């Protein structure tokens, strides 16, 4: 007997064996079917709820429009809940496209309460959270990807973390192949849009 079974499981197995072997052999198949049916009725197989992850990623790949900074933060907060840990996000977009606003939403989704501003002059900041750390890198002032080695950034990428990179084209060859690439911009109606161009999932 498997000792890892719970008492309820063992009891059900015993009931099933008793019902089958207490009747003549020519009736055993009928009673076996009835016993299995009773067991199935006691343990209905309920399908698991559909995961929201594929829907969100599919919508992002098609591109989503947000009508306020709060909507952009809310979208990023939802994304934070489904991102794999130790993911790198490359946020492409011009000035004012909403990159820092997007990072603020990521931080909120990770349970981080500290204020999030663009680290233009400090290059990167680290925000510790209860779910994962958020490493926020602004590569705008870097002239090439070799300069990032002098920052010893990899020493601060302690699992679990999310690395969000603004101006990732400045350090393109430094980014991992598994990086998630997002395009952020402003529509002709002055709304913002976010599109997932490449992901590891």
In whole angstroms, what is the distance from residue 78 CA to residue 56 CA?
A: 8
Residue 65's DSSP bridge partners are 193
Report if pTM > 0.85: no
Tokens of 201: 């999932």
Pairing state of beta strands 64-66 and 192-198? antiparallel
Strands (E), the chain: 64-66, 87-92, 124-127, 133-138, 161-166, 180-186, 192-198
Q: Are 98 and 72 in contact (CB under 8 A)?
A: yes
State the pLDDT at residue 112: 96
Closest CA to 125 of 75, 164, 160: 164
pLDDT tens-digit series, residues 60-117: 999 999 999 999 999 999 999 999 999 999 999 999 999 999 999 999 999 999 999 9
92 Cβ neighbours under 8 A, 6+ residues apart: 168, 169, 181, 182, 183, 184, 197
More confident: 56 or 49: 56
Confidence of residue 53 (pLDDT cuts 50, 70, 90): low
Burial class (CB in 10 A: 0-12, 13-18, 19+), 82: middle
CATH code: domain 53-198 is: 3.40.50.300
Other beta carbons within 10 Å of 25: 8
pLDDT tens-digit series, residues 133-170: 999 999 999 988 788 888 888 888 999 999 999 999 99
Q: Are 81 and 105 in contact (CB under 8 A)?
A: no
Domain ranges of the chain: 7-42, 53-198
- Residue 37 is classified by DSSP as H
Average pLDDT over the chain, rounded to an integer: 81
């Amino acid at each position: 007997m498997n000792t890892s079974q719970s008492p309820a499981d063992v009891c059900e197995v015993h009931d099933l064996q008793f019902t089958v072997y207490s009747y003549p052999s020519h009736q055993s198949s009928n009673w076996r079917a009835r016993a299995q049916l009773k067991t199935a009725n006691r343990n209905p197989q309920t399908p698991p709820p559909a995961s929201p992850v594929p829907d969100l990623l599919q919508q992002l790949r098609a591109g989503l429009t947000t009508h306020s900074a709060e909507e952009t933060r809310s979208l990023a907060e939802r994304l934070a809940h489904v991102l794999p840990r130790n993911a790198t996000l490359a946020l492409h977009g011009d000035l004012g496209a909403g990159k820092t606003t997007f990072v603020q939403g990521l931080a909120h989704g990770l349970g981080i309460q500290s204020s999030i501003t663009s680290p233009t002059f400090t290059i990167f900041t680290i925000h510790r959270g209860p779910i994962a750390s958020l490493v926020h890198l602004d590569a705008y002032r870097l002239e090439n990807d070799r300069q990032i080695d002098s920052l010893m950034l990899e020493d601060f990428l302690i699992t679990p973390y999310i690395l969000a990179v603004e101006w990732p084209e400045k350090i393109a060859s430094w980014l991992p192949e598994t990086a998630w690439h997002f395009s952020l911009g402003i529509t002709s109606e002055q709304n913002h849009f976010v599109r997932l161009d490449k992901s590891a999932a």
